Amino acid sequence: MTKKIKVDTAPEVRGSRYPSPYDAPCAGRVRRVLGDAAGLTQFGVNLTRLPAGCWSSQRHWHTVEEDEFIFLVGGTVVLVMDSGEETLCAGDCAGFRAGSGDGHHLQNRSNLDALILEIGTRRPDEDEAFYSDIDLHALKGRAGYARKNGEIYTSVKPRNPATGE
């Protein structure tokens, strides 16, 4: 029995589950869910392709349960955080401690695809995410999304446990 994961056949998630219009900047994003392909349950591993102009997510931060780490395999992206912006190139990496309150995401402002390895804690039943720039809050337990005033977005599918979105 082989443990090798064939990346091109790993489960694929396209776009995001954000309610409209928040899903538009991430529409071209393609994630290969490698952690699921390996049967992992404690942390997620994704190989994410961001076409030119695409975002990794809306700018967000996780509560006390989900750390995140990214490694840029190829291309160039801009890491956008509360504290400003940084350009990341192939070989660069960054980490985001859970509960930090530092909203972050990646934007591909180049003309070429970017390829990112994402690794993060997987505790969707305990985790919430808050979105810094928009009226969106990801609820605990994969329950979906709500506005900051608590009103539920009813037209949205529950969050994906593999990607946190």
Q: Tens of pLDDT along 132-164? A: 999 999 988 778 899 999 999 987 665 555 555
| Stated pTM of the model | 0.89
First to last CA, the chain: 32
Sign of CA dihedral 20, 17, 87, 69: positive
Q: What is the pLDDT of residue 55?
A: 98
Residue 6 — very low, low, confident or very high, per pLDDT cuts 50/70/90? very high
Would you say residue 165 has pLDDT above 70? no
The structure tokens listed for 16 are 């995001």
Would you say residue 2 has pLDDT above 90? no
Q: Which domains does the chain have, with CATH numbers?
A: 7-146 (2.60.120.10)
The structure tokens listed for 142 are 């994969």
Residues ≥6 apart with Cβ < 8 Å to 157 = 17, 144
CA distance 108 to 75: 9
